[in-house]
Structure 1
Amino acid sequence: MAEAIWSSDTGEAVYRSRDPVRNLRLRVHLQRITSSNYLHCQPAAQLGKDLIDLATFRPHPTASGHRPEEEEEEVVIGWQEKLFSQFEVDLYQNEAACQSPLDHQYRQEILKLEDAGGRKNRRIFTYTDSDRYTNLEEHCQKMTTAASEMPSFLVERMANVRRRRQDRRGTEGGILKSRIVTWEPSEEFIRNNHVINTPLQTMYIMADLGPYGKLGYKKHEHVLCTLKVDSNGVITVKPDFTGSKGPYRIETEGEKQELWKYTVDNVSSLAQPEEEEREQRVFKDLYGRHKEYLNSLVGTDFEMTAPGALRLFVNGEVVSAQGYEYDNLYVHFFVELPTSNALPEWPVLYCEVLSLDFWQRYRVEGYGAVVLPATPGSHTLTVSTWRPLELSPVAELRRFFIGGSLELEDLSYVWIPGTFKGERLSRFGLRTETTGSVTFRLHCLQQSRAFMESSSLRKRMRSVLDRLEGFSQQSSIQNVLEAFRRARRRMQEARESLPQDLVSPSVTSVS
């Protein structure tokens, strides 16, 4: 069989999955092709470095004198499944080399494997998230592919950050305690709080490509695939799953160079229909419980408005002020609510713009008013202002030097004074000057029982019309005729109550 294409794209691939990562299964196939010394003898006019005929150079297993399991190996690996290397087997068989609880656990597992007949894997093994290799690899990883890479300050700082799940909650006497200011932060505290620390788990699929009979040396270990999974279900694979692409290649270094090929395929089992249905029920139950939890946070004592009342919430800010004579501006404002015995009105926002001079004396720069928005949502309002004016040089000098100026005793005079009871409001004789404008950004929210009632009424009417479908027009005609009959009866009752001499000849009506 001739294999003509190698996959040279060894970059990362990112996947997102809602399934538990424990269901992930990978099939890794590793095969020795030949000594790379044969490749150096190939003429340059052939297919090239990445396009070779593997059938030409693949030695027959019996001719090479090696067993088939040493030439080729295939294993199926689960997420965070530990496969021991020959180096680890030799190391942990010596009890004196076990220092941590994890080392003793590995020793017990290796002894059980030896009693059961030995390992099933030979060259392919794994490093899980708990192994020391994972920590060292995260510290020593390169940021670029350059052989002479000079790490920058940021690279050095980021290399010291291990993205692991950390419990930063401090409790004292069962009460959650948190410090707003840390006066003497440690190096670990700085690393943990100045970097986005997303919980992450890492796994390495490795291969021991040492010569036959000399397995178990660290210098012959090569990374086949790196998998990283964070708490959001994002899976990062480097290199990507082989799929329809060609196998990846590894060319060893040293006196006896060899060429290997390997593939990494996702062989996770697909969920059965009944499992998917069960999963949907679980998610539905989970979302329902979360909704109940949120409702419990709000509580049952949610304050409702009185029937027939409207509650208005306004959250706003002063965005800018422009066009005024002096700087160092500040704004006074208040909201006037409509009286209960008046016609339906809306709240009015009054504002007074003042400036402060060097001697901490203030000057009136303008008055303005605007009706608050009648619709909920975000609104940007620009209020034009004016100020009273005296037509004398003395008044302007007094305003400039000592800060005095004409002021309104009642700010509501800008709009309609609250004390005004007449029909016409005259400002004749009041001299004013247009000044600048103030921009407000307001976020309005309205609350009323009528909104809930109208919403439920619309839903009921919509459902009725959906059920009636083609009978809706007939229903409208019947309603009109019924209204006409009621009006006709009222008219006849009114006619009968009048004196007979005032009753005009009857008009024939259409029933």
Structure 2
Amino acid sequence: VMDQLYEKDMGGGTYRSRDPIKNFRIKISLQRLSSSTIGFLAKSTEGEPTSAQGTTTTTNQYGQTIMESEELTVHWQQKFFSQREMEFYGFEPNCTSVTDYKYHAEVDKLKKGSGRPNNRIFSYVGNERFASLEEAYVTITTSDKEMRTELAERIMEVRRRRNGRLSCRGKSVAGMKIVEEKPTVEFQQNHHVLTTPVHTLVIMADLSPQEQLGRAEFERKICTVEFDDNSVMRVTPDFTGSRPPYRLEEGGLGRDVWEFRIDHVSNSVSKMEAMREAKVISELYRKHQVYLKSLVSAKFEEIPERVFRLNVYGEVVSAQSFQQNDLHVEFLLDVPRDWSCDPAQLLSGCTHTCRTTLVDDVEFAYFCQPFHYHMFLDMENIKEFEPLEWPRIFVHVISSDTWGRRRTEGYGYLTIPSTPGTHTYTVQCWRPLGNAGYPAIAAELRRFFIGGNPELEDISYVAVPSTFEGNRLNKYGVRTESTGSVTIKFNSILQCKAFKDVSASAAVSKKKLQNAFQLMKGKEKSDAISGVMDAFHRARKKMQLARENIPLEIRESAQKIATTKQQYTSAENKNRMGEDGTPLAHNIQIS
């Protein structure tokens, strides 16, 4: 029955607060009770004194005799000394650190004054001397039979990583070694740390007999408050609130029973201050939202009616299987006719120089160089039976070394994907060898010793030269050598209002893209036909208005003339027909 009077859940609670941690207050209520009850009393008798053999005692609402009680309100990182600490820090030769001398001065001040404001409840702040001893007794698991191992002791030495940034100059950190080959135990304690700094406040209780205060074996941890840089607070165990108090049992001759409560007693914010704070926060959020809208427009950019837009976000991933080391890639966008782009947009780019690394017996050079292009196609300039040219990307792989030798490792090109989505392509490269015979041998020797080799004057020759105007292109006789390859990744976005009439799907296929182009061309034809019909209707309307403005006498005379002419024409046609209704010319016999 007694177990139902106490809270068994000793788990912690996690809270997040935007207020300064210096305003935090916590109250600890500690009571020593008798080990037996004298009957359950009503709540109305709580705290009433009872007499037994002339001795005045106090009982709680459950009939337990309260032998001793103490309440203490602790501020954040406020230090309260225990009896053991008063004796230790009161003797100056025990002090060895700055914190020890600071506590020595505070203890002397308390001794000269009114003494300690607390009796059994005290606190540990941060990593002080006795707090580290308390943490040393913390086990790794919840088992009572746990045996401490060397690994557990090593793990207990791990501290938390600081968030401060190191000032770097060049490729090394000034004044320190980045890698320590043989770290000492002290070095590990100072540098092997966790990620988020946590500030700790530990509240303890001295449960030793009254005449023996200050014995370390009777000290027990009541509450731990942790607060990190993310404004997250963890209280273990959690605030009592409306739940029953927590219980501690201390072994001894009397088997004393202790109960304690943990209450949050920070000063609450007034209604006026809360409204003012909410107003400031809402104003801050509003300004931040306006700032974000200034960076990113609230509406999507629209394109004209008969314009097709191609957005390409790509990346030169890597180059592999080339002969030399220290590679970089120069790339160029070829914009065909009928296409256009922003004049301020750079159509060429260059990666950084990268040394190759061996992966599965293949030399790889990783660049991860991003690029993006935005191109427009005017559909009015497209002819119906003429093939549509698509933009291409030319690549030029070059190697260089510390001697200043520069060599062309390969050329290649790739047509930008015509379907939206993510695509990864490998561009096979080649390099020209020049003329056969002695010039080819001299070119190879020059390439090996001093660098330099035959290059293309116009990189568009890799595909179709920009100066070519014929119908057939013959590259027969050009001596080349296959080299390596370049991997390029694309993410294409197609934007056109004609896509609204194409059936919706997860991705627009090439056939649907052609249908969209045809649909756009059909719209152009229908627009031309509708223009002719509009002109015809306007002319007809003008004719009707002109007829209505003619005088009535002229219209009646014109109608009479038209009726007389119609009667004369019908009589003439009747005279030309025979009796059987056939024309007279058919009855003439030619002899």
The verdict on a shared fold, with TM-score over 0.5 as the criterion, is yes
| Counterpart among 382, 387, 391 of residue 425 in structure 2 | 382
Q: Which residue of 2 aligns with 1:163?
A: 160
Aligned to 2:269: 271
Is residue 2:414 matched to residue 1:369?
Answer: yes
In 2 relative to 1, CA 189–222 (structure 1 residues): closer, same or farther, beyond 3 Å? same
Structure 1 residue aligned with 2:392: 348
- Does the 8 A contact of 1:165 with 1:200 survive in 2? no
Q: What's 1:79 paired with?
A: 76
Aligned mates of 1:192, 1:286 — CA distance in 2: 40
After TM superposition, the score normalised by the length of structure 1 is 0.57
Alpha-carbon RMSD across the aligned residues, in angstroms, is 5.6
Name the counterpart of 1:496: none
SS of the residue 1:156 aligns to:
helix
Over 3 Å counting, the alpha-carbon distance change for 1:343 and 1:3 in structure 2 is closer
Query: Closer, same or farther in 2 for the Cα pair 1:180/1:314, shift >3 Å?
Result: farther
Partner of 2:227: helix, strand, or coil? strand
Query: What's the offset of the Cα at 1:33?
Result: 2.2
Secondary structure (helix, strand or coil) at the match of 2:132 reads helix
Measured in 2, the distance between the counterparts of 1:245 and 1:230 equals: 27
* Distance of aligned partners of 1:352 and 1:163 in 2 relative to their CA distance in 1, 3 Å threshold: closer
Matches within 5 A, 1:213-228: 213-228=211-226
> CA offsets per residue over residues 152-193 of structure 1, 9 Å max, x none?
555322312343868785899xxx946463456554444444
Q: 1:416 aligns with which of 464, 472, 482?
A: 464
CA distance in 1, matches of 2:334, 2:168: 51
Aligned residue for 1:200?
198
Query: Deviation string for 1:42-70 (max 9, x for gaps)?
Result: xxxxxxxxxx98769x9977549587685
Letter of the 1:261 counterpart: E
**1:213 partner SS:** helix
Structure with greater strand share of residues: 2
Give the Cα separation in 2 of the matches to 1:505 and 1:12.
88
- Unaligned residue ranges in structure 2 (runs of 5+): 59-65, 290-308, 342-374, 376-390, 398-408, 432-453, 478-483, 494-530, 547-591
**C-alpha distance in 2 between matches for 1:385 and 1:177:** 45
The one-letter code matched in structure 1 to 2:27 is: R
Q: Does the Cα contact within 8 Å between 1:124 and 1:205 map onto a contact in 2?
A: yes
Question: 1:432-477, CA deviations, whole angstroms, 9 ceiling, x for partnerless residues?
Answer: xxxx9975324799xxxxxxxxxxxxxxxxxxxxxxxxxxxxxxxx
**Cα distance in 1 for residues equivalent to 2:29 and 2:286:** 45
Q: Tell me: CA distance 1:348–1:112, structure 2 relative to 1, closer, same or farther (3 Å).
A: farther
| Corresponding residue number in structure 2 for 1:336 | 332
Residue number in structure 1 paired with 2:139: 142
Alpha-carbon distance, 1:16 to partner: 2.2
Distance verdict in 2 for CA 1:223–1:387, change over 3 Å: closer
Structure 2 length as normaliser, TM-score? 0.50
**Post-superposition offset of 1:241:** 1.5
Alignment partners' CA distance in 1, 2:136 and 2:288: 39
Aligned partner of 2:28: which letter? V
1:12 Cα offset (Å): 3.0
Residues 90 and 104, structure 2, Cα contact 8 Å, conserved in 1: no
SS in 1 for 2:155: helix
Write the letter of the residue equivalent to 1:222: R
The alignment partner of 2:415 has SS state of strand
Q: Does the residue aligned with 2:269 lie in a helix, a strand or coil?
A: coil
SS in 2 for 1:336: strand
Change over 3 Å in CA distance of 1:163–1:441 after alignment to 2? same
- Output the CA distance in 2 between the equivalents of 1:508 and 1:205: 103
Deviation, structure 1 residue 252: 0.4
How many angstroms apart in 2 are the aligned matches of 1:34 and 1:70? Answer: 7
Whole-angstrom CA distance in 2 between matches of 1:8 and 1:333 = 68
Q: 1:276 to 1:145 in 2, by over 3 A?
A: same
Secondary structure in 1 aligned to 2:110? helix
| Separation in structure 1 between the aligned mates of residue 158 and residue 287 of structure 2, nearest angstrom | 36
How many residues end up aligned between the 2 structures? 385
**CA 1:108/1:169 → structure 2, altered by over 3 Å: closer, same or farther?**
farther
Residues 1:33 and 2:33 are matched in the alignment: yes
8 Å contact kept, 1:369–1:414: no
Structure 1: unaligned runs, 5 residues or longer: 40-51, 292-309, 354-363, 389-406, 431-435, 446-486, 492-502
Deviations 1:188-232 (A, max 9, x none): 444444432422211111112222433332222111111111122
> For the residues of structure 2 that align with 1:96 and 1:180, how far apart are their CA atoms?
37
For the structure 1 residues 505 and 78, does the alpha-carbon distance in structure 2 shift closer, same or farther, using more than 3 Å as the test?
closer
Q: CA deviation at 1:94?
A: 4.9
CA contact (8 A) 1:3 1:53 kept: no
Q: 1:508 to 1:136 in 2, by over 3 A?
A: farther
Counterpart of 1:251, as a letter, is E
Task: Go from structure 1 to structure 2 and tell me whether the alpha carbon gap of 1:131 and 1:112 turns closer, same or farther (over 3 Å shift).
Answer: farther
Structure with larger Rg: 2
Q: Which amino acid aligns with 2:267?
A: S
Percent of pairs with identical residues: 32
Displacement of 1:264 after TM fit? 0.9
